[in-house]
Amino acid sequence: MASEVKMVPIPRRGVDYRGKVVLAPMVRSGELPSRLLALKYGADLVWGPETVDRAMIGTTRRYNEATQTVEWFRVASHGQKEPPPDAKENIIYATHPEKEKGKLIFQIGTSDPDRALEAARLVAADVAGIDVNAGCPKPFSTSGGMGAALLRTPDKLVAILEKLVQNITPEFEIGISVKIRILETPAETEALVRRLVATGITGLTVHCRTTPMRPRERAIRGQLRMIAEICHEAGVACLMNGDVESKDEGLKLAEEFGADGAMIATSAEKNPSCFRTQADGGLAPWEEVVKEYVKTCMDVENRFGNTKYLLAQMVPGKAGLHQPLTQSKSYSDVCRMLGHEEFMEQAREADVRRGLDKPPVKQSKKGKSNAAALAAGRQTGQARVKTQQKKALSERGATAQSEPEPLPIASVG
């Protein structure tokens, strides 16, 4: 008779990562419409983009009747004690409670246990789990001691996980997990993983690349079986990440290397129907997926800059649409370009709500330079640029839904 598999108890509102193929946390590519589309096509769970703790702290939660979403927002003060009357609202995070219930994992960027707890408390009642990013190699994360920098400060990482497990899990009845990268040697990775699984987490995702490696370099799976075995000894679920292109492949690789499931990143960014198994029809044509994506973006009033960025990933170059897509200024432009005439009325309404129906304000060269300088915080204004010179990026908001939007800083932590 086979021995019973050890499992860390799954909290009442939490989720078991075993047997799951999930959407990876990706800056810009993990916003609400992308997650909803991934779920529609068969993703078992979805990770939101890394959101920095300082970005969440101080936000206000509200329910948006028009979009049926929950939003955490702040009003841009541009360094003033009181925000001006015409100040814009920056939406830091949003979720669709009906469609993402029991499926959404909030990934937090943090380097401090107390800040992590304060930020997690704001969103814990609305998500199925909290995941700590200890794998992002991008400077906007590591410069503040977050992301992959935590792999070099294991005491701090352990303290963050323990703080969340001891407070968030009993209070909100959801699990805590962590996403890491492999270290240079199996011995180093083993020592780290043993410490992490002893904190009380329910899941661990390993991106099978080292911190210096880039997506174009093939994933290294030589340490994966060892990591999975350590997780299983502690009763912790183990997900694998890195060069997984479909749900079928993710399940096959997980079985081959002894992991419990898999995470898809780049392939889901290009075509989220990669979560559909061959038995269910396999990869859908890009035209079908793009049409569904545009409709979803308008339904939830997604930031147009984000919509435009994702469309650029989803529309293949051979379609000859990249130049008109780049020049588009509104949802009406996009629907007209793609031939989505049935969406034109909704597109015009979406443009009015987001202020895209107004002629663009001509910027000075200085203003354009300031806009180009904006990065992870996604805020606007000259005060934001001055703040950039004084603070580390970890002290700024990470996902604010305001127009216009800067060029992307991709992250597949």
DSSP string for residues in 74-86: EE--TT-SS--TT
d(C-alpha 316, C-alpha 300), whole Å: 25
* pLDDT on residue 413: 54
Q: Are 260 and 19 in contact (CB under 8 A)?
A: yes
Q: Are 52 and 397 in contact (CB under 8 A)?
A: yes
* pLDDT on residue 318: 85
335 tagged catalytic? no
The model's pTM: 0.86
Of 136, 208, 231, 297, which one is the catalytic site residue? 136
Residue listed under structure tokens 């805590």: 176
Helix, strand, or coil (residue 183): coil
Pairing of strands 89-95, 237-241: unpaired
**Within 13 Å and on the Cβ side, how many CA atoms surround 33?**
29
Helix, strand, or coil (residue 103): coil
The set of residues, in sequence order, having a beta carbon less than 8 Å from that of 153 and lying 6+ positions away, is: 145
Neighbours of 39 (CB within 10 A): 20
Residue 57 gets which letter from DSSP?
T
Residue listed under structure tokens 């939007």: 405
Pairing of strands 51-52, 261-264: unpaired
Q: Are 175 and 10 in contact (CB under 8 A)?
A: yes
* pLDDT on residue 380: 37
d(C-alpha 236, C-alpha 18), whole Å: 9
d(C-alpha 267, C-alpha 21), whole Å: 13
**Cα separation values, 78 from 2, 82, 382, 383, 391, Å:** 62, 9, 8, 5, 14
Checking phi first, is residue 160 left (phi over 0); if not, alpha (psi -120 to 50) or beta?
alpha
* pLDDT on residue 7: 86
* Residue among 95, 153, 152 nearest 122 (CA): 95
* Residue among 150, 120, 145, 119 nearest 135 (CA): 150
d(C-alpha 374, C-alpha 305), whole Å: 14
* pLDDT on residue 218: 95
**Cα separation values, 193 from 45, 117, 174, 190, 401, Å:** 23, 22, 21, 5, 35
* Residue among 201, 200, 220, 202 nearest 210 (CA): 220
* pLDDT on residue 383: 40
Q: Please give the domain boundaries of the chain with CATH numbers for all domains.
A: 21-280 (3.20.20.70)
Q: Are 301 and 66 in contact (CB under 8 A)?
A: yes
Q: Are 267 and 366 in contact (CB under 8 A)?
A: no
Neighbours of 116 (CB within 10 A): 26
d(C-alpha 89, C-alpha 401), whole Å: 8
Residue listed under structure tokens 């899941």: 203
Q: What is the pLDDT along the chain (413 residues), one digit of tens a residue?
A: 344 567 899 999 999 999 999 999 999 999 999 999 999 999 999 999 999 999 999 999 999 999 999 999 998 766 666 767 767 889 999 999 999 999 999 999 999 999 999 999 999 999 999 999 999 998 888 989 999 999 999 999 999 999 999 999 999 999 999 999 999 999 999 999 999 999 999 999 999 999 999 888 999 999 999 999 999 999 999 999 999 999 999 999 999 999 999 999 999 999 999 999 999 999 999 999 999 999 999 999 999 999 999 999 999 988 889 899 989 999 999 999 999 999 999 999 999 998 998 765 555 554 444 434 433 333 333 343 344 434 433 333 444 444 434 333 344 55
* pLDDT on residue 372: 40
Residue listed under structure tokens 């959801």: 174
* pLDDT on residue 412: 52
Helices 224-234 and 186-197 pack at an angle, to 10 degrees, of 20
Helix, strand, or coil (residue 107): strand
